[in-house]
C-alpha cells in the first residue's frame, strides 16, 4: 500500500520538551487519528511535517518527497487546519477567495462559495463578526477548496457544537471517498475518531506509544476489572497497564480472546479511546 506520509525518527528538542524518535506512516486514502494529552507533542509533530519548525532531525516524506527539499511542490497538495490558525479579522470570505486564487493552482471558487453557503457564512461579512465556530468553518472551507491530496487537521472540530461537528466529520468522509484523499486528524475529542479513523497513533510525552488500526485497538484490546487476588495471578506480559481503585483493579489488555483462554475472568469490557488514553497515561506498568 502506498504511503502518503512517512515519518522516521523525528526528534526535536526544546528547553522543557522533546520529541523522541517519532515514527509512523499514513497510507493513501486513509484517516489517521492522532491522539494524546495537551502538550504531548501532537502540534509540534504537525508543525514539523509542515516544515513550520526547523532544526529537527529525522526524515519526513510527503507524497514520497522530502518535505524540506520540495516545500512548494508539496504544499500545493496539502490542506491545513491548525488549532492556532487565524485570518486577519478585517478580511471577508470574499477577500480570502481572491487571495487564495493567487496561491493555489487548483483553487476552486465555486467549491469555496458552496461551502460558505452550506456553513451559513456570509461572503461580505468581516471575520471579526464571526463566532469561534464560524471561524473554524471558514478555515475548513478554505482548507478543502483547492482539492488537496492530504489533509492535516489539528483540532478541526474544536469550538463546534455536536451538530456542527457531525456535519464537518461527514464532509471529511465524503472528501475521502470522492477524491481519494488522506487525512491526519489530531483531536482530543476521541469519540469523533472512533467512527471515522482507520488508524490511531497515540503520542505521550513526546513519544509514540502505539500506532495501530482502529479495529485492532477497539476489537482486540479490552479492560479487565478484577480483585487484587485475581490481579496478582495475571502474568505481566499479558497486560499493558493497570490502575488500582479502592475496590478493584482496571487492567488494560492487548488481546481479549487470548486472555479469556488463559484466565478464569469472564467479564472483559470493551475499550474506548478515552479509556485507552487514561490507562496508558495514568496507569502503572
Domain coordinates in residue numbering, the chain: 3-215, 221-282
Interhelix angle 132-144/162-179, rounded to 10 degrees, is: 0
Cell numbers describing residue 24: 509512523
Kindly report the CATH class assigned to 3-215: alpha beta
The average pLDDT across 243-251 equals: 89
Cell numbers describing residue 54: 526547523
The share of the chain scoring above pLDDT 70, in percent, equals: 98
Please say if the pLDDT value at position 12 is more than 80.
Answer: yes
Please say if the pLDDT value at position 175 is more than 70.
Answer: yes
Average pLDDT, whole number, for the chain? 90
Of the candidates 118, 116, 76, 119, the residue with the CA atom closest to the CA atom of residue 94: 116
Whole-prediction pTM value? 0.89
Q: Who wins on pLDDT, 91 or 171?
A: 91
Q: Which pLDDT tens digit goes with each residue over 60-96? A: 999 999 888 777 778 889 999 887 667 899 999 999 9
Give the pLDDT confidence score for residue 85 in this predicted structure. 67
CA-CA distance, 96 to 66, in Å (whole number)?
29
CA-CA distance, 270 to 251, in Å (whole number)?
12
Task: For cell 491526519, name the residue.
Answer: 184
CA-CA distance, 266 to 279, in Å (whole number)?
21
CA-CA distance, 201 to 186, in Å (whole number)?
9
∠ Cα 173 186 95 (to 5°): 75
∠ Cα 251 18 277 (to 5°): 20
Amino acid at each position: 500500500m502506498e504511503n502518503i506520509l512517512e515519518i522516521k525518527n523525528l526528534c526535536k528538542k526544546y528547553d522543557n520538551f522533546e520529541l523522541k524518535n517519532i515514527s509512523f506512516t499514513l497510507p493513501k486514502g486513509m484517516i489517521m487519528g492522532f491522539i494524546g494529552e495537551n502538550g504531548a507533542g501532537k502540534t509540534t509533530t504537525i508543525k514539523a511535517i509542515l516544515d513550520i519548525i526547523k532544526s529537527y532531525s529525522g526524515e519526513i516524506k510527503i507524497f514520497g518527497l522530502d518535505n524540506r527539499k520540495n516545500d512548494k511542490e508539496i504544499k500545493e497538495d496539502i490542506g491545513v487546519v491548525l488549532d492556532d490558525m487565524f485570518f486577519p479579522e478585517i478580511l471577508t470570505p470574499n477577500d480570502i477567495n481572491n487571495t487564495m486564487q493567487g496561491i493555489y493552482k487548483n483553487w476552486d471558487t465555486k467549491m469555496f462559495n458552496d461551502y460558505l453557503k452550506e456553513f451559513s457564512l456570509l461572503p461580505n461579512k468581516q471575520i471579526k463578526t464571526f463566532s469561534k465556530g464560524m471561524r473554524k468553518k471558514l478555515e475548513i472551507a478554505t482548507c478543502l477548496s483547492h482539492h488537496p491530496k492530504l489533509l492535516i487537521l489539528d483540532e478541526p472540530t474544536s469550538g463546534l457544537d455536536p451538530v456542527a461537528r457531525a456535519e464537518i466529520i461527514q464532509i471529511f468522509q465524503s472528501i475521502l471517498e470522492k477524491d481519494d484523499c488522506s487525512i491526519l486528524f489530531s483531536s482530543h475529542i476521541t469519540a469523533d475518531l472512533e467512527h471515522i479513523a482507520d488508524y490511531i497513533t497515540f503520542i505521550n510525552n513526546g513519544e509514540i506509544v502505539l500506532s495501530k488500526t482502529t479495529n485492532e485497538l477497539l476489537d482486540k484490546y479490552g479492560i479487565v476489572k478484577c480483585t487484587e487476588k485475581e490481579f496478582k495471578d495475571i502474568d505481566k506480559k499479558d497486560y499493558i497497564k493497570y490502575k488500582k481503585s479502592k475496590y478493584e483493579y482496571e487492567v488494560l489488555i492487548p488481546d481479549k480472546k487470548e486472555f479469556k483462554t488463559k484466565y478464569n475472568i469472564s467479564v472483559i469490557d470493551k475499550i474506548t479511546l478515552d479509556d485507552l488514553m487514561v490507562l496508558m497515561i495514568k496507569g502503572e506498568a
